[in-house]
Amino acid sequence: MAQSELSFLASELVAQLGGTLQGHDLRVRRLTSLQQATVDDISFLSNPRLRADALASCAGVLIVTEKTAQILGDGRTLIVADDPYLYFARVARLFHPVIKAKPGVHPTAVVAASAQLAADCEIGPHVVVGERTVIGSGSRLLAGVVVEDDCVIGTDCVLHANVVVYPGCRLGDRVELHSGSIIGADGFGLAWDKQDNYWYKIVQTGGVVLGDDVEIGANTTIDRGAIEDTVVENGVKIDNQVQIGHNDKIGAHTAIAGCTGIAGSTEIGPYCIIGGAAMIAGHLTIPAKTMIAAATPVSHSIKQADHYAAVYPLQTHKEWVKNAAYLRHLREMHHQLKKLEQLLMAQQTSEIVNQE
């Protein structure tokens, strides 16, 4: 992202975002890391392990907690906030405000006669808008976007280059789809034909519904439902290269990190956090506020919210080969242990009888 041309006094940031200003009221022109910051920059410290970096930083203004402010002492310009990371995110938005739509339709765009476009929406080069599709106020469809028939795009949405929205999908307000994401492709629905020995495709007649303030990462795919819709509720954030299967339901404000795969007909509750490369099987449920660690396989429904993880830690190949040899014999070892338990119980019972 290009450097912002905006600048702010520290007092202006506090006036807009809250917090407490300590030290001189300096003007800052850029938000950057502790290591790269100069006197004209603002940076933040949210991880206590980086306090040494904060002490050495040349940043003109630092966003810190009250405890860190006491450690840094006098002589620095500080903005004291309860959550420096969240404060940093809000400062970043001030430096890089949301780009507003440039109303108009590019001459290379192809827009169906029955489509309804808000007067202030932006339709970029080589965009295709299908029949009966509705594009809301302030929305931006950038280069190469395809929105097929009977779709609804809400207000102030951003569809980045080469996004594809299949027929009959509905997006709420302020939805952002990053480049290459595909909304509403067919779900993986197949029935095996025993007589002719081939997979018979099940027509996918549902759609995809995205709630308000949903953000979908680059090259992420969300399949349309087989009969009912696939639903992603308000405020959900999905990273790059994630697969959401048909008829899934993702609860409000859940966050899903990159390369996660979720099979069809799974319901994930609100406020969940799914780590990168998690693999979630189909036809199961995950309750609200569940955390699943990166690369964790989830093969059955979860009944109680908690922090779940199930991955072998990194090992050398030599160690893994040795452990794998034991894994292959777990069933046999289990039976042997059961026999030993039975023998031990029999021996203890015999001793008790003899004592009597």
Regarding whether 137 and 86 lie in a shared domain, the answer is: no
Residue 2 lies in a domain: no
Residue 27 lies in a domain: yes
Regarding whether 180 and 297 lie in a shared domain, the answer is: yes
Residue 285 lies in a domain: yes
Regarding whether 126 and 90 lie in a shared domain, the answer is: no
The whole domain housing 238 covers 104-308
Residue 3 lies in a domain: no
Could you say which of 269, 286, 308 is where a domain stops? 308
Alpha carbon of 131 to those of 62, 110, 115, 152, 275: distances in Å?
52, 11, 5, 11, 39
Regarding whether 300 and 279 lie in a shared domain, the answer is: yes
Question: Could you tell me the CATH number of the domain that includes residue 157?
Answer: 2.160.10.10
Regarding whether 351 and 253 lie in a shared domain, the answer is: no
Q: Where are the alpha helices (DSSP H) in 76-185?
A: 84-95
Residue 129 lies in a domain: yes
Could you say which of 65, 95, 125 is where a domain stops? 95
Could you say which of 269, 289, 308 is where a domain stops? 308
pLDDT in the model for residue 1: 60
Residue 70 lies in a domain: yes
pLDDT in the model for residue 48: 85
Asked if 123 and 141 touch (Cβ cutoff 8 Å), the reply is: yes
Regarding whether 126 and 37 lie in a shared domain, the answer is: no
Regarding whether 290 and 169 lie in a shared domain, the answer is: yes
Q: Is the pTM of this model over 0.75?
A: yes
Among residues 246, 317, 329, 335, which one is catalytic? 246
d(CA 102, CA 99): 9
d(CA 346, CA 356): 16
Residue 219 lies in a domain: yes
- Is-catalytic flag, 24? no
> What is the domain count for the chain?
3
What would the two tokens of residue 251 be? 């609860």
Regarding whether 267 and 177 lie in a shared domain, the answer is: yes
Alpha carbon of 32 to those of 99, 110, 293: distances in Å?
21, 41, 29
Regarding whether 55 and 126 lie in a shared domain, the answer is: no
Regarding whether 112 and 67 lie in a shared domain, the answer is: no
Regarding whether 250 and 342 lie in a shared domain, the answer is: no
Per-residue pLDDT of the chain (356 residues; tens, 9 = 90+): 666 789 999 999 999 999 999 999 999 999 999 999 999 999 999 988 888 999 999 999 999 999 999 988 778 999 999 999 999 999 999 999 999 999 999 999 999 999 999 999 999 999 999 999 999 999 999 999 999 999 999 999 999 999 999 999 999 999 999 999 999 999 999 999 999 999 999 999 999 999 999 999 999 999 999 999 999 999 999 999 999 999 999 999 999 999 999 999 999 999 999 999 999 999 999 999 999 999 999 999 999 999 999 887 778 999 989 988 888 899 999 999 999 999 999 888 877 767 76
pLDDT in the model for residue 2: 61
